[in-house]
Structure 1
Protein backbone atom coordinates (compact mmCIF):
# COMPACT_ATOMS: atom_id res chain seq x y z
CA UNK A 1 0.00 0.00 0.00
CA UNK A 2 1.13 3.55 -0.65
CA UNK A 3 1.25 5.97 2.27
CA UNK A 4 -1.91 7.65 0.96
CA UNK A 5 -3.72 4.30 0.70
CA UNK A 6 -2.86 3.49 4.34
CA UNK A 7 -4.29 6.78 5.60
CA UNK A 8 -7.31 6.49 3.31
CA UNK A 9 -8.07 2.97 4.57
CA UNK A 10 -7.69 4.16 8.19
CA UNK A 11 -10.04 7.10 7.53
CA UNK A 12 -12.67 4.93 5.86
CA UNK A 13 -12.65 2.44 8.74
CA UNK A 14 -12.81 5.25 11.31
CA UNK A 15 -15.70 6.89 9.45
CA UNK A 16 -17.63 3.61 9.68
CA UNK A 17 -16.89 3.35 13.40
CA UNK A 18 -14.78 0.23 12.78
CA UNK A 19 -12.16 0.99 15.42
CA UNK A 20 -10.38 -2.41 15.31
CA UNK A 21 -9.82 -2.07 11.55
CA UNK A 22 -8.84 1.61 11.88
CA UNK A 23 -6.29 0.74 14.57
CA UNK A 24 -4.90 -2.12 12.47
CA UNK A 25 -3.25 0.56 10.31
CA UNK A 26 -1.23 1.87 13.28
CA UNK A 27 2.17 0.70 14.42
CA UNK A 28 1.98 -0.77 17.93
CA UNK A 29 4.33 1.97 19.15
CA UNK A 30 2.49 4.82 17.39
CA UNK A 31 2.45 8.34 18.80
CA UNK A 32 -0.48 10.78 18.61
CA UNK A 33 0.31 14.47 19.11
CA UNK A 34 -2.84 16.27 20.28
CA UNK A 35 -2.33 20.06 20.16
CA UNK A 36 -3.30 22.82 22.52
CA UNK A 37 -3.73 23.33 26.21
CA UNK A 38 -6.75 21.25 27.19
CA UNK A 39 -7.47 17.97 28.96
CA UNK A 40 -6.64 15.96 25.83
CA UNK A 41 -3.48 17.84 24.79
CA UNK A 42 -0.11 16.15 24.70
CA UNK A 43 1.49 13.10 23.16
CA UNK A 44 -0.13 9.69 23.57
CA UNK A 45 2.20 6.74 23.02
CA UNK A 46 0.98 3.29 22.04
CA UNK A 47 -2.38 2.02 20.85
CA UNK A 48 -3.83 1.65 24.34
CA UNK A 49 -3.17 5.30 25.26
CA UNK A 50 -4.36 6.56 21.85
CA UNK A 51 -7.50 4.43 22.09
CA UNK A 52 -8.27 5.68 25.60
CA UNK A 53 -7.87 9.33 24.54
CA UNK A 54 -10.15 8.89 21.52
CA UNK A 55 -12.69 6.98 23.61
CA UNK A 56 -12.63 9.74 26.24
CA UNK A 57 -13.15 12.36 23.51
CA UNK A 58 -16.15 10.43 22.17
CA UNK A 59 -17.50 10.12 25.72
CA UNK A 60 -17.09 13.84 26.37
CA UNK A 61 -19.08 14.58 23.21
CA UNK A 62 -21.70 11.85 23.71
CA UNK A 63 -20.45 10.31 20.47
CA UNK A 64 -21.03 13.46 18.42
CA UNK A 65 -17.40 14.03 17.39
CA UNK A 66 -17.16 13.80 13.60
CA UNK A 67 -14.07 14.34 11.45
CA UNK A 68 -14.61 14.60 7.69
CA UNK A 69 -12.02 15.09 4.95
CA UNK A 70 -12.45 18.36 3.03
CA UNK A 71 -9.87 17.85 0.28
CA UNK A 72 -7.87 15.00 -1.24
CA UNK A 73 -5.01 13.54 0.77
CA UNK A 74 -1.57 14.91 -0.09
CA UNK A 75 1.65 12.93 0.26
CA UNK A 76 5.27 13.95 0.57
CA UNK A 77 7.57 10.96 1.08
CA UNK A 78 6.41 9.16 4.21
CA UNK A 79 4.05 12.01 5.28
CA UNK A 80 0.37 12.37 4.40
CA UNK A 81 -1.63 15.54 4.99
CA UNK A 82 -5.39 15.28 5.41
CA UNK A 83 -7.36 18.54 5.44
CA UNK A 84 -10.46 17.99 7.62
CA UNK A 85 -13.47 19.67 9.16
CA UNK A 86 -14.44 18.50 12.61
CA UNK A 87 -17.50 19.09 14.75
CA UNK A 88 -18.77 18.04 18.15
CA UNK A 89 -21.20 18.90 20.93
CA UNK A 90 -20.60 18.75 24.65
CA UNK A 91 -23.42 19.90 26.88
CA UNK A 92 -24.36 23.37 25.64
CA UNK A 93 -21.04 23.84 23.82
CA UNK A 94 -20.51 23.15 20.13
CA UNK A 95 -17.49 23.31 17.88
CA UNK A 96 -17.07 23.20 14.13
CA UNK A 97 -13.79 24.12 12.47
CA UNK A 98 -11.16 23.22 9.94
CA UNK A 99 -8.05 21.32 10.77
CA UNK A 100 -5.27 19.32 9.25
CA UNK A 101 -4.13 15.87 10.27
CA UNK A 102 -0.56 14.96 9.40
CA UNK A 103 0.37 11.27 9.35
CA UNK A 104 3.81 9.66 9.23
CA UNK A 105 3.56 6.24 7.57
CA UNK A 106 6.45 3.76 7.56
CA UNK A 107 6.23 0.16 6.28
CA UNK A 108 2.46 0.57 5.65
CA UNK A 109 1.77 1.49 9.28
CA UNK A 110 0.90 4.88 10.81
CA UNK A 111 3.77 5.73 13.13
CA UNK A 112 2.81 9.27 14.19
CA UNK A 113 -0.13 11.66 13.89
CA UNK A 114 -0.03 15.43 14.44
CA UNK A 115 -3.26 17.44 14.52
CA UNK A 116 -3.62 21.12 13.67
CA UNK A 117 -6.68 23.28 14.36
CA UNK A 118 -7.92 26.44 12.69
CA UNK A 119 -8.30 28.16 16.09
CA UNK A 120 -6.60 26.32 18.93
CA UNK A 121 -7.89 28.71 21.62
CA UNK A 122 -11.50 27.95 20.68
CA UNK A 123 -10.76 24.22 20.62
CA UNK A 124 -9.07 24.43 24.04
CA UNK A 125 -12.14 26.23 25.43
CA UNK A 126 -14.41 23.54 23.99
CA UNK A 127 -12.50 20.62 25.55
CA UNK A 128 -11.71 22.36 28.83
CA UNK A 129 -8.98 21.52 31.31
Structure 2
Protein backbone atom coordinates (compact mmCIF):
# COMPACT_ATOMS: atom_id res chain seq x y z
CA UNK A 1 0.00 0.00 0.00
CA UNK A 2 1.13 3.54 -0.69
CA UNK A 3 1.14 6.11 2.09
CA UNK A 4 -2.03 7.68 0.65
CA UNK A 5 -3.74 4.27 0.53
CA UNK A 6 -2.91 3.65 4.21
CA UNK A 7 -4.31 7.02 5.32
CA UNK A 8 -7.37 6.56 3.09
CA UNK A 9 -8.05 3.12 4.61
CA UNK A 10 -7.65 4.56 8.13
CA UNK A 11 -9.99 7.48 7.35
CA UNK A 12 -12.63 5.24 5.79
CA UNK A 13 -12.65 2.86 8.77
CA UNK A 14 -12.81 5.79 11.20
CA UNK A 15 -15.72 7.40 9.31
CA UNK A 16 -17.60 4.09 9.57
CA UNK A 17 -16.97 3.89 13.32
CA UNK A 18 -14.73 0.82 12.87
CA UNK A 19 -12.11 1.75 15.46
CA UNK A 20 -10.30 -1.63 15.49
CA UNK A 21 -9.75 -1.47 11.71
CA UNK A 22 -8.82 2.22 11.87
CA UNK A 23 -6.23 1.52 14.57
CA UNK A 24 -4.89 -1.50 12.66
CA UNK A 25 -3.31 1.05 10.30
CA UNK A 26 -1.19 2.50 13.15
CA UNK A 27 2.16 1.29 14.40
CA UNK A 28 1.73 0.18 18.05
CA UNK A 29 4.19 2.88 19.14
CA UNK A 30 2.70 5.68 17.00
CA UNK A 31 2.79 9.29 18.19
CA UNK A 32 -0.08 11.76 17.87
CA UNK A 33 0.80 15.45 18.19
CA UNK A 34 -2.31 17.34 19.31
CA UNK A 35 -1.64 21.10 19.11
CA UNK A 36 -2.69 23.84 21.42
CA UNK A 37 -3.12 24.66 25.06
CA UNK A 38 -6.13 22.63 26.20
CA UNK A 39 -6.85 19.42 28.10
CA UNK A 40 -6.18 17.16 25.08
CA UNK A 41 -3.07 18.98 23.78
CA UNK A 42 0.33 17.34 23.73
CA UNK A 43 1.98 14.26 22.28
CA UNK A 44 0.19 10.97 22.85
CA UNK A 45 2.38 7.89 22.58
CA UNK A 46 1.03 4.48 21.63
CA UNK A 47 -2.41 3.26 20.70
CA UNK A 48 -3.68 3.26 24.28
CA UNK A 49 -3.00 6.98 24.82
CA UNK A 50 -4.21 7.91 21.32
CA UNK A 51 -7.38 5.84 21.74
CA UNK A 52 -8.12 7.33 25.17
CA UNK A 53 -7.71 10.88 23.84
CA UNK A 54 -9.99 10.28 20.84
CA UNK A 55 -12.56 8.48 22.99
CA UNK A 56 -12.51 11.30 25.55
CA UNK A 57 -12.95 13.87 22.77
CA UNK A 58 -15.98 11.99 21.44
CA UNK A 59 -17.39 11.69 24.96
CA UNK A 60 -16.82 15.37 25.70
CA UNK A 61 -18.70 16.33 22.51
CA UNK A 62 -21.35 13.63 23.05
CA UNK A 63 -20.50 12.24 19.62
CA UNK A 64 -20.93 15.55 17.80
CA UNK A 65 -17.28 15.80 16.75
CA UNK A 66 -17.24 15.30 12.98
CA UNK A 67 -14.18 15.49 10.75
CA UNK A 68 -14.67 15.67 6.99
CA UNK A 69 -12.07 15.79 4.22
CA UNK A 70 -12.08 19.04 2.22
CA UNK A 71 -9.71 18.10 -0.55
CA UNK A 72 -7.39 15.52 -1.97
CA UNK A 73 -4.80 13.76 0.14
CA UNK A 74 -1.31 14.72 -1.00
CA UNK A 75 1.91 12.79 -0.47
CA UNK A 76 5.55 13.77 -0.24
CA UNK A 77 7.47 10.57 0.35
CA UNK A 78 6.30 9.11 3.68
CA UNK A 79 4.21 12.20 4.54
CA UNK A 80 0.54 12.59 3.67
CA UNK A 81 -1.38 15.85 4.17
CA UNK A 82 -5.10 15.59 4.68
CA UNK A 83 -7.13 18.84 4.55
CA UNK A 84 -10.14 18.61 6.87
CA UNK A 85 -13.07 20.55 8.26
CA UNK A 86 -14.18 19.74 11.78
CA UNK A 87 -17.22 20.62 13.84
CA UNK A 88 -18.42 19.78 17.33
CA UNK A 89 -20.43 20.99 20.29
CA UNK A 90 -19.80 20.99 24.03
CA UNK A 91 -22.76 22.58 25.82
CA UNK A 92 -23.04 26.08 24.39
CA UNK A 93 -19.52 26.01 22.86
CA UNK A 94 -19.10 25.15 19.20
CA UNK A 95 -16.13 24.54 16.95
CA UNK A 96 -16.39 24.89 13.16
CA UNK A 97 -13.06 25.26 11.36
CA UNK A 98 -10.59 23.97 8.84
CA UNK A 99 -7.37 22.18 9.55
CA UNK A 100 -4.74 19.89 8.12
CA UNK A 101 -3.81 16.49 9.46
CA UNK A 102 -0.30 15.38 8.53
CA UNK A 103 0.49 11.66 8.67
CA UNK A 104 3.85 9.92 8.51
CA UNK A 105 3.58 6.40 7.11
CA UNK A 106 6.46 3.91 7.37
CA UNK A 107 6.23 0.27 6.26
CA UNK A 108 2.50 0.68 5.58
CA UNK A 109 1.76 1.86 9.13
CA UNK A 110 0.97 5.33 10.47
CA UNK A 111 3.83 6.21 12.83
CA UNK A 112 3.07 9.89 13.55
CA UNK A 113 0.21 12.34 13.18
CA UNK A 114 0.41 16.14 13.49
CA UNK A 115 -2.75 18.25 13.53
CA UNK A 116 -3.01 21.90 12.50
CA UNK A 117 -6.02 24.16 13.11
CA UNK A 118 -6.81 27.44 11.36
CA UNK A 119 -7.62 29.10 14.70
CA UNK A 120 -5.80 27.41 17.57
CA UNK A 121 -6.98 29.96 20.16
CA UNK A 122 -10.63 29.22 19.29
CA UNK A 123 -9.99 25.48 19.40
CA UNK A 124 -8.28 25.84 22.81
CA UNK A 125 -11.34 27.72 24.11
CA UNK A 126 -13.63 25.03 22.71
CA UNK A 127 -11.84 22.14 24.47
CA UNK A 128 -11.10 24.07 27.65
CA UNK A 129 -8.67 23.16 30.40
Name stretches of at least 5 consecutive residues in structure 2 with no aligned partner.
Answer: none
Find the aligned partners of 2:15 and 2:88 in 1 and give their Cα distance. Answer: 14
The equivalent residue for 2:123 is 123
The equivalent residue for 1:59 is 59
Alignment of 1:44 with 2:44, yes or no, is: yes
Runs of 4+ in 1 over 4 A off after TM superposition: none
Find the aligned partners of 2:41 and 2:48 in 1 and give their Cα distance. Answer: 16
The equivalent residue for 1:69 is 69
Shift of 1:81: 0.1
1:36-88 deviation digits (Å, cap 9, x = unpaired): 00000000000000000000000000011010000000000000000000000
Find the aligned partners of 1:103 and 1:62 in 2 and give their Cα distance. Answer: 26
Alignment of 1:97 with 2:97, yes or no, is: yes
Name stretches of at least 5 consecutive residues in structure 1 with no aligned partner.
Answer: none
Find the aligned partners of 2:94 and 2:125 in 1 and give their Cα distance. Answer: 10
Shift of 1:106: 0.1
TM-score normalised to the size of structure 2? 0.99
The equivalent residue for 2:86 is 86
The equivalent residue for 2:108 is 108
Find the aligned partners of 2:4 and 2:106 in 1 and give their Cα distance. Answer: 11
How many residues end up aligned between the 2 structures?
A: 129
Give the CA RMSD over aligned residues: 0.3
